[in-house]
Amino acid sequence: MAIRRGLGIWMALWFLGLPQTGWAGEVYVAVASNFLNPLKEIAQRFKKDTGNTLILISGSTGKLYAQARHGAPFDILLAADENRPALLEREGVGVKGTRFTYAVGALVLWSLDPDKVRGEESLTQMDKGKLAIANPKTAPYGRAAKQVLERLGLWQKLRPFLVRGENISQTLQFVATGNAALGLIAKSQVEDPRFKLKGSRWDIPADHHEPVLQQAILLKPGFSNPSAKQFLKFLKGQVSKKIIQSYGYHFLEE
């Protein structure tokens, strides 16, 4: 009996002495749809390195912001803009001082047709078919797409041809399935190794729209979750940055 009791005490002390990475934790991450696939890769590496699991909830930044604001139990928001994380910080839903830009996005005009896209003229000469963009009211890439069309003086002219996706993922689907001849989508989608998209494209010049600064922020439910804080640190590291770059994003320091 004494031996059994002593063995139990030893095992308890040994278990308590394990490093933190030995404890399996879960982190609920609300992620903008354009960043879902890179995050899946990052999540795999994070679990391998730490033993912790990311639970991913994807959607448009506008909808995720509204859900977080109304009490959704997200630990972290990875937005596709800087505005919503800043709002959550001011509203007390986001933890002050944890907001940072994890990636800078770019926009591409893309078509399945390898001969369809010929630069700016593909938009200026458009007189039929559909042009897919994300909803400018809820999706940062949709707002950037509208800014591009406004800069080119084409917003009013092309409005009858527009089909709006709820988010940038649905926007891509419109073009990939042939329901739209052209689409203003995220560069990360075109360069996503899982999609291997072909066709034709025009990389929109950066000065045609405001920078798409994608920001992360720790939310109040994640404040007491050590794994959430650990993930934000991991997101800033070289392993994550290498994956992010492989999808066509860049960083502020570049």
- CA torsion sign, 182 to 245 to 143 to 216? positive
pLDDT the model gives residue 197: 83
Q: What is the mean pLDDT of each run of 10 residues along the chain (254 residues)?
A: 39 35 78 95 97 96 96 97 97 97 96 95 95 94 97 97 94 95 94 84 96 97 97 98 94 76
CATH class of the domain comprising 105-208: alpha beta
Helix, strand, coil percent values for the chain (each to nearest 5): 45, 20, 35
Find, among 44, 39, 55, 16, the residue nearest to 225 by Cα.
55
3-state secondary structure of 54: strand
Return d(Cα 137, Cα 69) in angstroms, integer.
Answer: 17
Beta strand ranges found along 52-181 (DSSP E): 53-59, 76-78, 100-105, 107-111, 131-134, 162-165
One-letter identity of residue 229: K
For domain 23-104+212-246, the CATH architecture is 3-Layer(aba) Sandwich (3.40)
Q: Delimit the domains of the chain by residue range.
A: 23-104+212-246, 105-208
pLDDT the model gives residue 24: 64
In this chain, the answer to whether the domains covering 23-104+212-246 and 105-208 adopt an identical fold is yes
pTM: 0.81
* Total length of the chain: 254
The alpha carbon torsion through 122, 123, 127, 130 (nearest 10 deg) reads: 100
Return d(Cα 46, Cα 84) in angstroms, integer.
Answer: 25
